[in-house]
Amino acid sequence: MQSLSIAATGMMAQQLNVEVISNNIANMSTSGFKRQRAEFQDLLYQNLRRVGSASSDAGTVVPAGVQVGLGVKTGSVYRITTQGNLDNTEAPLDIAIQGRGYFRVDLPNGETAYTRAGNFSRDPNGQIVTSDGYVVQPGITIPEDAIDITINAQGQVQATLQGETDPVIVGQFDLATFANAPGLDPIGDNYFVETAASGAPNIGAPGDQGYGTLLQKFLETSNVNAVSEISSLITAQRAYEMNAKVITASDEMMSVTSNLR
């Protein structure tokens, strides 16, 4: 009976759906996290009577036919890149992006990663780095005697030095945008890397056309909606149970057949 394997594909699909939802819920407090959505596609169909085939010598054709579906498969796990809420942290090197764009980060292996998490710090040399100690491009160094740091919406970094009245410009943040941001490859730790699907990065200053602006002393929160995720979780659970009932019903039907005398 095809219904056994069909229902099995449905159970596996809902299992993956629950795993995606659980990852979203687990990262509700992760800065800059973008939720994901599992998308499914139907499998090939078995044609018992092909639609459009000739039904007589008079030229009549079958209007609908008979096709039996063979189940479901995972099409993709799509990343939703909508803006998250902004949380006021009062930390001078916490920076949120309002709009499009990613910070660029130098990884230890020489690659460039991209992130929306702007919880930055200073390393022993005064450079602005991520929580892992990776340098944030283009490499901005804060003077050791700086008593105040100001980052405006256009990414300009100004430091007020001890004994000085006017702040001095010490650097300029830039942002990277992609034609297909969901095509970036997540590698963990809030980092993404470029892929053929995402396209090459376009580098520009915050506030330029097509680029977001920066907001100092704020962090972008996850865009996960708890109510929506719990609702999706319940729906996936019910779908899993129904597919399991199909397997139970198919097994009972086969048992009846095998017990015929």
Asked whether residue 59 carries a pLDDT value surpassing 90, the answer given is no
Confidence class of residue 150 from pLDDT cuts 50, 70 and 90? very high
Same domain, 123 and 146: yes
Q: In total, how many domains does the chain have?
A: 2
Query: Within the chain, what is the greatest distance between any pair of CA atoms?
Result: 101
Whole-model pTM: value is: 0.85
Closest Cα partner for 103 from 172, 152, 170, 196? 172
pLDDT at residue 93, as a whole number: 93
CA distance 164 to 172: 21
CB 158 within 8 A of CB 166: no
Q: Which two tokens stand for residue 109?
A: 């292996």
pLDDT at residue 107, as a whole number: 94
pLDDT at residue 184, as a whole number: 94
Asked whether residue 55 carries a pLDDT value surpassing 80, the answer given is no
Q: What tens digit of pLDDT does each residue of 97-131 get?
A: 999 999 999 999 999 999 999 999 999 999 999 99
Same domain, 92 and 212: yes
Same domain, 156 and 236: no
Confidence class of residue 66 from pLDDT cuts 50, 70 and 90? confident
pLDDT at residue 2, as a whole number: 85
CA distance 101 to 212: 6
CA distance 204 to 114: 14
Same domain, 100 and 170: yes
Confidence class of residue 260 from pLDDT cuts 50, 70 and 90? confident
Q: What range defines the domain where residue 64 resides?
A: 2-81+224-258
Beta bridge partners of 102: 176
Confidence class of residue 29 from pLDDT cuts 50, 70 and 90? very high
Same domain, 63 and 117: no
